[in-house]
Chains A and B, each alone.
Chain A
């Protein structure tokens, strides 16, 4: 089955700086890659996603890049703010499309230092 590796497990950045979280996946058939943000005690919330026919996607301060050849994708957050502090999870759909359920990475605890 699909295996998703996520790094780093903890990331501390100064407010205003950029943060990058990286994930790799194992199943070349996967073609849907969402990112979720989970604040303490809350449900995971989708922040951005990308499909395999796209190399990059942006939404204001958040961007995701995908390299299908290398089977890795990354989340980029620019101009970080205190409210960006949370745990971020990457995921991949193991057989293509979210309809098959998601395999998650282990998560990155992002800490924004004021």
Chain B
């Protein structure tokens, strides 16, 4: 399976600021996704990162709050904008590769907003 890395691994931010999270894959992948996992909770899909076009957002998530870029087949970024304490979560990217249905997850970025 693909090797996935995320930066930063964790951060503590002040409310009102923004943080950009990077997801890097060691091989080209067909699909990349961003999920949120609030403390002690399950995973919720934020959006599908589309290469060369605008991301596809799930209900309850908007581009102004979570802008996403995917400039190529190995890299994507998620920005959490104008943060509030409710944005404190683990943010995970996942990738789909090899013509399969299997999604592999990155190690996650643990975000704390004060």
Contact = CB atoms under 8 A, between A and B. Distances in A.
Interface of A: 1, 32, 34, 36, 42-46, 49, 51, 89, 93, 97-107
Given A1-B59, A43-B92, A43-B107, A103 B45 contact: yes
Interface residues of B, number: 22
A104 B100 CA distance: 19
Interface of B: 30-31, 33, 41-45, 48, 58-59, 92, 96, 100-108
B105 A44 contact: yes
Main secondary structure of the interface of A (DSSP, over half): mixed
Given A99-B96, A104-B43, A34 B102 contact: yes
Contact of A98 (B92, B102, B108): B102
Contacts of B92: 43-44
30 contacts: A32-B101, A34-B101, A36-B105, A42-B107, A43-B105, A43-B106, A43-B107, A44-B105, A45-B105, A46-B103, A46-B104, A49-B101, A51-B101, A89-B43, A93-B101, A98-B96, A98-B100, A98-B102, A99-B30, A99-B96, A101-B33, A101-B48, A101-B58, A102-B45, A102-B103, A103-B45, A104-B43, A104-B44, A106-B42, A107-B42
